């Protein structure tokens, strides 16, 4: 689990976030290399593909975070507005469609580099790593209780 900063740590939250992301990516890379038994040439072709999708995935996750906040606020209002809830739910569905399309595109690109066995292992490994990382982030932020539903979980 990523360490929590000490009280005398003078790094900005943005610096800490970047460092944590770098560590998580390094750990993910190590786990992928181990699980898929990758050689250097395959690793050199695979990781740029995964990296290309990381930023897009983080943008979709940030958008989903805002949508979920809006949905929570709308449902907790004294008199929830059905029209606002419908619009927000439609945004959530569109966000999930973007996420699924991104995952599908990533799988298509990865298939050009990995064997079928490696592809299958990666498809099984990535969601587990994402859940583990999300759990660590929730614990470190003091929210506890685990990450909740995963990216592919439906209503």
- For residue 78, pLDDT beyond 90: yes
What pTM was estimated for this model as a whole? 0.73
- For residue 110, pLDDT beyond 60: yes
pLDDT tens, 118-131? 999 999 999 999 88
Question: At a CB cut-off of 8 Å and minimum separation 6, what does 124 contact?
Answer: none
122 neighbors 110 (Cβ within 8 angstroms): yes
Q: What percent of the chain has pLDDT over 90?
A: 65
d(CA 145, CA 10) in angstroms, rounded, equals: 29
60 neighbors 102 (Cβ within 8 angstroms): yes
The average confidence (pLDDT) of the chain is 86
In whole angstroms, how far apart are CA 36 and each of 10, 44, 123? 38, 14, 11
Can you give the pLDDT at residue 108? Answer: 95
Can you give the pLDDT at residue 37? Answer: 96
Instruction: Flag the least confident range among 5-14, 50-59, 104-113.
Output: 5-14
DSSP 5: P
Report which of residues 150 and 72 the model is more confident about. 72
52 neighbors 70 (Cβ within 8 angstroms): no
Centroid of chain to Cα 122: 15
The domains of the chain, with CATH numbers, are: 19-124 (1.20.120)
Can you give the pLDDT at residue 152? Answer: 46
Span 98-124, mean pLDDT?
95
pLDDT tens, 13-55? 788 878 888 888 899 999 999 999 999 999 999 999 999 999 8
């Amino acid at each position: 689990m990523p360490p929590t900063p000490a009280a005398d740590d003078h790094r900005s939250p943005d610096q800490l976030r970047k460092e944590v992301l770098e560590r998580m990516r390094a750990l993910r890379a190590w786990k992928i290399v181990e699980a898929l038994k990758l050689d250097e040439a395959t690793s050199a072709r695979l990781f740029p593909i995964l990296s290309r999708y990381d930023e897009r995935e983080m943008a979709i996750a940030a958008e989903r975070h805002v949508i979920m906040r809006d949905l929570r606020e709308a449902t907790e209002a004294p008199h929830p507005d059905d029209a606002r809830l419908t619009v927000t739910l439609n945004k959530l569905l569109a966000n999930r469609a973007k996420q699924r399309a991104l995952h599908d595109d990533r799988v298509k690109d990865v298939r050009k580099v990995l064997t079928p066995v490696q592809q299958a292992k990666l498809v099984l490994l990535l969601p587990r790593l994402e859940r583990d990382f999300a759990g660590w982030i929730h614990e470190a932020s003091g929210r506890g209780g685990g990450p909740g539903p995963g990216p592919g979980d439906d209503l």
